[in-house]
A and B are shown apart, each in its own frame.
Chain A
Amino acid sequence: MFSRWNWVACGFYLMLNICSPDASGGLVQSCGHIIPESPVLPLGSNFTALCILNESCLDFGNIYANQIIWKVKNRVVPKEQYREINRTVSSVTFNDTSSLATPLTCNILADGQIEQNIYGITVTVGLAPEKPKNLSCIVHQMSKSTYHMTCTWDPGRHTFLDTKFRLRYSWPEDIFPDCIPKGVNNSCTFHDVHFFVNTEIWVEAANALGKAESDPLILDPVDIVKPLSPQNISVIPEVLPTALKLSWENLISHSVIRLKFNIRYKILGDTNWMEIPAEDTASHRTSFSVQGLRPYTEYVFSIRCMKEDGVGYWSDWSEEKTGITTEEKPSKGPPIWRIIDASHSPASWTVHLLWKALRPFEANGVILQYEVTVRDKSSLSGPLKKYNVTSTNHTLQLPNGTYEVTVIARNSAGASPPSVLLIPANNSKGPVTNLRTLPKHDKLWVGWTAPNSYVLKYVIEWCLVSSSSDCIIEWQIAPGNVQGIDLKGIKPFKCYLITVYPLYADGQGSGQSVKAYLKQDRPSKGPIVQTKKVGKAEAVLTWNHLTVDEQNGFIRNYTIVYKTIDGNETVVTVDPSKTEYTLSSLTSDTLYTVRMMASTDNGSRSGPDFTFTTQKFGKGEIEAIVVPVCLAFLLIVLLGVLFCFNKRDLIKKHIWPIVPDPSKSNIAQWSPQVPAKHNFNSKDQMYPEGSFTDVSVVEIEADDKKSFSEQDLKPFDLLKKEKSTSEGHSSGIGGSSCMSSPRQSVSDSDEGETTQNTSSTVQYSTVVLNGYRDQTPVQVFSRSESTQPLLDSEERSEDHAGGADSTAQRQQYFRQHGAQDETNTDRPCFERPKQITHADEGDLVGFVQLQFSGQSSQPLGLGMEKNIQEAALSNVFQTSTEGQTLRPETVEENPLSVDEMPKSYLPQTVRQGGYMPQ
């Protein structure tokens, strides 16, 4: 109970002590304190702190040192590190300060549990500064009289503490103000430098744990000067074309520091600098004459300087300055060559003189002009011809001969040595041998073997071979002692023609040419193959060579690949010089695909596929088949003909019966009435009526159909009519023919004559026979002559009675009455062939017209058709065409013919008979 009160009292006292102001000890009277107060400790060292309690606290609060607890940043320090020195003092020991942290507090455990803080300290751990090392200084010239000395050093390890560096500078008896680095700890710059006095420079580093000094640097600042580079450089041409005078301004007075210099220079555009030997510029100066330069060349100069004795630093290189040397006369003549064109006339040449512009280091200035001199060597007194040319070529017209051409290049300083060329090429001299080429990267090396005699120089001509443009010659001259040269500017995949001429002192050797590629590629196109001829087992292929532009290299061979659709490929290699190849051993009647490939050293390319089919039959095979077949056919035909000939009687009997000739009958001797009847009767007897009628019917039927269709299409078709007429003749032996030319019956004068002229009836029969089989109207004509008067009257009447109405009327009349006057009908039938004959002799058109006019009076005529149609209403038999009307009539008439023979014999007569009443 007591103890508890005691603790409470103690705690209260502590509170009071800490919180209440005390008159003697400031605001807070602490119960204790720690020694040392806020130490700075070296990293890694051991450290002991003491916490000392106030006596007053001990007395009142029963607080003793054994109750002390040490803490490092809220972490309790293990008890093992504590040591109770006496009642009021407790110590704590740390073997390594790196385990320390701030704050370190001394606490007391009041009343066994309540932890009270007595005191706390801040602990700082760090390192003492290291000795600065590697101190070095340099004096920079800032302006003409201003120098800054900058010193740098290695500050050493990090100290974790605030470490101050000071750069110190002193003379034996004077210490200058220190240089304090700003923002850095390893360099500092003095702005006031004193030359020619030995100076001691050192660095001091200091922090809470210690102080360190670098080794002193003893020097004269003038020995570490880096001067400013020379200024205002000017380059002035000297009298000599190979020298330039440089002058400049030094920013250091020679009375302060004497300088030495480096001068470097290069040709404008070059990358490599050349330097003037250092000995030449080892003393103080403000100008120097640079010699050994090229004339008329722009040079770039730059200078730097340092102290004359070489102690110190070189300045930076000055800004670059350029200058041009003066001109000098060209060092050599221009390389010259020629192209001789003798094509215009055999007696003279066009000589194109070509020369190359001198390179800058040869020209030594601006070439103002070239002087070309031409001397005829063949005539000693030949005048010199001089030309002043500004371009690099000149064209001369020269008669054939030997000439010496010289070219001199001239600039403002003088003339070059002459370049000489002999014209023409005396090609009898030996050429180079073993001309060859070899590609070398982007250049083409051309090599040759020199001829035996001494060669002054070689001319190498080359040009790009192209099918689209001319060969534009480029050339180059090589000295006589070389046997190879690199050609530049050669394009890959292009064919070049290279020619080498050796030039001798007294002429020129003949040129040797070689074709070359810098680089080959596969051809840009393949050859297009075609067949020239295709046989049964072979095909001749043909193609064109690739153009030079397409080749891209030397064509080494052609490859022909051919195959059937499902067959194996066959490959044939062909020499590149050929343009034709014959494929053999092909299968007949087979589709072949053929492709051709051109190959260079670097690859090949195929042309388009071409297909062809081999023939089914070889040459002569068809003939071998066709000829015998034809011969056999002919033989068969011949045999048939022979057979027919042998059996002609039999055949004639069957298909060509003999028709009796009425004219040969004795009917003419009979009286007109009786004999006519008799005659007809006899006829009937000769040809049985039935059979006759039968023939007639068959034939006319065929005719009917024909004419029926004809009517629909072409009522006036000439040929058909002709046929029908002729058939009409045959069918009715005059009956149908009369029907086809009814107009004849339209004559007024016929009436009497027809009745009177019985003879004409007889003649008619003759005509029909002739017309039917022989088709020879001549006979008919001769016969008809006897009846001419009748014809005349008939014709005349026809002319008068041309009207269609009257014809129609007559037709109608004829149909209604069915008049039976055969003589009337016979006559027109007889007439018509005569007219045809006339027409035949004349022109066809006339014939047509005649036919037309003849038909106009026919019942079938166009004009008649309406009438026919009208008539059909009344008469069933006459509704349609001629044939149709004819047949029933014929059928009807046949029975009639039994009573009246002349009327019934021919259908026409029936119709014509109708005409008779008129």
Chain B
Amino acid sequence: GDSWGIFTFLCAALCNLPALPALNCSEELGAGQSIQQTYDLTRYLEHQLRTLAGTYLNYLGPPFNEPDFNPPRLARAERVPSATVDLALWRGLTDNARLAANYRAYSRLLCYLRVLDGQVGTAELRHRLAHFCASLQGLVLSIGGVMSSLGYPLPAGPAGPPAPHGAHAAPNDFLKKMDDFWLLKELQTWLWRSAKDFNRLKKKVPPAVVTLRLEARGF
């Protein structure tokens, strides 16, 4: 069953490859720049999220906007991919596995975030959330691009539509806010860890590619 699944994935991936201009582009520019760009984007998203989270938590109101608010993680929040994997264990994973994990995680997070976006009351916050979503979507694409450039297959799982919102609807407003709180918190953790991942990955890129990139810069 697994081998069939992998096979179909690979087929799908191979079929999809020529259709993705970004991947073609990444190939042209090289994996190094692709990784750098993904890293920059991660940092940029971190930066965006810092201000966005503050604004959003204020929107949620107390106690969520209190600096030392640290509620216990509820069981129902588990469906949000957690980045709380042991660091040593995480480092022990292969690049491919980490990239795939990132890819999956951001794809899922993006789905929840879009739900969040639809619920926000103020236009300004909605606009910023939409912008963040778009950028996060870009990150998913970028990770996919990096994986392609490094020759890794894209994980198949999260390609489907996000879990229907109604099925996991929070029973009350506070719990819903708690979901939102954890969503943002997980996002921050993931972005922080992804930045480290890509920084590490960046250092592994072939020097020739780096030289080429520098030349391109210098030009």
Q: Which residues of A contact B (CB under 8 A)?
A: 145, 171-174, 176, 192, 194-198, 200, 218, 220, 222, 253, 255-256, 309-311
Q: Which residues of B contact A (CB under 8 A)?
A: 20-23, 25-26, 37-38, 40-41, 43-44, 46-48, 51, 130-131, 134-135, 137-139, 141-142, 145, 217
**How far apart are B156's CB and chain A's nearest CB, in angstroms?**
15
Q: Which residues of A contact B48 (CB under 8 A)?
A: 145
A218 (CB) vs chain B CBs: closest residue: B25
Q: Are A192 and B131 in contact (CB under 8 A)?
A: yes
Given known contacts A171-B137, A171-B141, A218-B25, is B131 in contact with A195 (CB within 8 Å)? no
B127 (CB) vs chain A CBs: closest residue: A192
Query: How many angstroms between the C-alpha atoms of A172 and B154 in the bound complex?
Result: 15
Q: Which residues of A contact B139 (CB under 8 A)?
A: 197
**How far apart are B15's CB and chain A's nearest CB, in angstroms?**
14
Q: Which of B22, B25, B38, B47 contacts A253 (CB 8 A)?
A: B47
Q: Are A197 and B142 in contact (CB under 8 A)?
A: yes
Q: Are A197 and B41 in contact (CB under 8 A)?
A: yes
What are 29 A-B residue pairs whose CB atoms fall within 8 Å in the complex?
A171-B22, A171-B138, A172-B21, A173-B20, A174-B137, A192-B130, A192-B131, A194-B138, A195-B40, A195-B41, A196-B40, A196-B135, A196-B138, A197-B37, A197-B135, A197-B139, A197-B142, A198-B22, A198-B25, A198-B26, A198-B145, A200-B21, A218-B25, A220-B37, A255-B44, A255-B46, A256-B43, A256-B47, A309-B217
Instruction: Give the secondary structure class of B's interface.
Output: helix
Q: Which residues of B contact A256 (CB under 8 A)?
A: 43-44, 47
Most chain A CB neighbours (cut-off 10 Å) among B22, B25, B142, B145: B22
Q: Which of A145, A198, A255, A311 contacts B37 (CB 8 A)?
A: A198
**How far apart are A309's CB and chain B's nearest CB, in angstroms?**
5
Q: Which of B40, B142, B145 contacts A222 (CB 8 A)?
A: B40
A145 (CB) vs chain B CBs: closest residue: B51
Query: How many angstroms between the C-alpha atoms of A310 and B145 in the bound complex?
Result: 25
Q: Which residues of A contact B22 (CB under 8 A)?
A: 171-172, 197-198
Most chain A CB neighbours (cut-off 10 Å) among B43, B130, B145: B43
Q: Which residues of A contact B142 (CB under 8 A)?
A: 196-197
**How far apart are B217's CB and chain A's nearest CB, in angstroms?**
5
**How far apart are B16's CB and chain A's nearest CB, in angstroms?**
10
Instruction: Give the secondary structure class of A's interface.
Output: loop
**4 extra A-B contacts, CB within 8 A, seeds A173-B141, A196-B40, A220-B37:** A172-B141, A176-B134, A197-B141, A255-B44
Q: Are B37 and A196 in contact (CB under 8 A)?
A: yes
Q: Which residues of B contact A220 (CB under 8 A)?
A: 37
Given known contacts A171-B22, A172-B141, is B44 in contact with A196 (CB within 8 Å)? yes
Given known contacts A200-B21, A256-B44, is B134 in contact with A194 (CB within 8 Å)? yes
Most chain B CB neighbours (cut-off 10 Å) among A176, A195, A197, A222: A197
**How far apart are A804's CB and chain B's nearest CB, in angstroms?**
151
Q: Are A194 and B135 in contact (CB under 8 A)?
A: yes
Q: Which residues of B contact A171 (CB under 8 A)?
A: 22, 137-138, 141
**How far apart are B134's CB and chain A's nearest CB, in angstroms?**
5
Q: Which residues of A contact B47 (CB under 8 A)?
A: 253, 255-256
Q: Which residues of B contact A309 (CB under 8 A)?
A: 217
Query: How many angstroms between the C-alpha atoms of A197 and B146 in the bound complex?
Result: 12
**How far apart are B125's CB and chain A's nearest CB, in angstroms?**
14
**How far apart are B71's CB and chain A's nearest CB, in angstroms?**
28
Q: Which residues of B contact A194 (CB under 8 A)?
A: 131, 134-135, 138
Q: Which residues of A contact B131 (CB under 8 A)?
A: 192, 194
Q: Are B25 and A197 in contact (CB under 8 A)?
A: no
B28 (CB) vs chain A CBs: closest residue: A218
Query: How many angstroms between the C-alpha atoms of A218 and B44 in the bound complex?
Result: 20
Query: How many angstroms between the C-alpha atoms of A26 and B44 in the bound complex?
Result: 66
Query: How many angstroms between the C-alpha atoms of A259 and B144 in the bound complex?
Result: 28
Q: Are B41 and A311 in contact (CB under 8 A)?
A: no
Given known contacts A172-B141, A310-B217, is B44 in contact with A195 (CB within 8 Å)? yes
Query: How many angstroms between the C-alpha atoms of A173 and B137 in the bound complex?
Result: 9
Query: How many angstroms between the C-alpha atoms of A172 and B27 in the bound complex?
Result: 14
A219 (CB) vs chain B CBs: closest residue: B25
Q: Which residues of B contact A255 (CB under 8 A)?
A: 43-44, 46-47
B216 (CB) vs chain A CBs: closest residue: A311
Query: How many angstroms between the C-alpha atoms of A171 and B140 in the bound complex?
Result: 11
Q: Which residues of A contact B43 (CB under 8 A)?
A: 255-256
Q: Which residues of B contact A174 (CB under 8 A)?
A: 134, 137, 141
Q: Are A311 and B44 in contact (CB under 8 A)?
A: no
Query: How many angstroms between the C-alpha atoms of A496 and B57 in the bound complex?
Result: 86
B218 (CB) vs chain A CBs: closest residue: A310
Query: How many angstroms between the C-alpha atoms of A192 and B126 in the bound complex?
Result: 13
**How far apart are A248's CB and chain B's nearest CB, in angstroms?**
20
Query: How many angstroms between the C-alpha atoms of A220 and B141 in the bound complex?
Result: 13
Q: Which residues of A contact B217 (CB under 8 A)?
A: 309-311
**How far apart are B213's CB and chain A's nearest CB, in angstroms?**
10
Q: Are B135 and A172 in contact (CB under 8 A)?
A: no
**How far apart are B187's CB and chain A's nearest CB, in angstroms?**
16
Query: How many angstroms between the C-alpha atoms of A200 and B23 in the bound complex?
Result: 12
Q: Which residues of B contact A196 (CB under 8 A)?
A: 37-38, 40-41, 44, 135, 138, 142
B34 (CB) vs chain A CBs: closest residue: A198
Q: Are B134 and A192 in contact (CB under 8 A)?
A: yes
**How far apart are A219's CB and chain B's nearest CB, in angstroms?**
10
Query: How many angstroms between the C-alpha atoms of A145 and B43 in the bound complex?
Result: 14
Q: Which residues of B contact A172 (CB under 8 A)?
A: 20-23, 141
**How far apart are B138's CB and chain A's nearest CB, in angstroms?**
3
Q: Which residues of A contact B37 (CB under 8 A)?
A: 196-198, 220
**How far apart are A220's CB and chain B's nearest CB, in angstroms?**
6
Q: Which residues of B contact A197 (CB under 8 A)?
A: 22, 37, 41, 135, 138-139, 141-142
Query: How many angstroms between the C-alpha atoms of A663 and B43 in the bound complex?
Result: 178
- The 9 tightest CB contacts between A and B, nearest first, are A196-B41, A197-B138, A172-B22, A255-B47, A172-B20, A196-B40, A255-B43, A309-B217, A194-B135
B214 (CB) vs chain A CBs: closest residue: A309
**How far apart are B194's CB and chain A's nearest CB, in angstroms?**
13
A173 (CB) vs chain B CBs: closest residue: B141
Q: Are B21 and A218 in contact (CB under 8 A)?
A: yes
Q: Which residues of A contact B137 (CB under 8 A)?
A: 171, 174
Q: Which residues of A contact B51 (CB under 8 A)?
A: 145
Query: How many angstroms between the C-alpha atoms of A255 and B46 in the bound complex?
Result: 8
Q: Which residues of B contact A311 (CB under 8 A)?
A: 217
Query: How many angstroms between the C-alpha atoms of A171 and B135 in the bound complex?
Result: 11
Most chain B CB neighbours (cut-off 10 Å) among A192, A198, A256, A309: A198
Query: How many angstroms between the C-alpha atoms of A198 and B138 in the bound complex?
Result: 9
**How far apart are A199's CB and chain B's nearest CB, in angstroms?**
9
Q: Which residues of B contact A222 (CB under 8 A)?
A: 40
**How far apart are B122's CB and chain A's nearest CB, in angstroms?**
16
A195 (CB) vs chain B CBs: closest residue: B44
Q: Which residues of A contact B23 (CB under 8 A)?
A: 172
**How far apart are A312's CB and chain B's nearest CB, in angstroms?**
11
Q: Which residues of A contact B134 (CB under 8 A)?
A: 174, 176, 192, 194
**How far apart are B112's CB and chain A's nearest CB, in angstroms?**
18
Most chain B CB neighbours (cut-off 10 Å) among A171, A200, A310: A171
**How far apart are A418's CB and chain B's nearest CB, in angstroms?**
55
**How far apart are B18's CB and chain A's nearest CB, in angstroms?**
12
Q: Which residues of B contact A310 (CB under 8 A)?
A: 217
A192 (CB) vs chain B CBs: closest residue: B131
**How far apart are A194's CB and chain B's nearest CB, in angstroms?**
5
**How far apart are A34's CB and chain B's nearest CB, in angstroms?**
47
Query: How many angstroms between the C-alpha atoms of A194 and B46 in the bound complex?
Result: 14
**How far apart are A216's CB and chain B's nearest CB, in angstroms?**
8
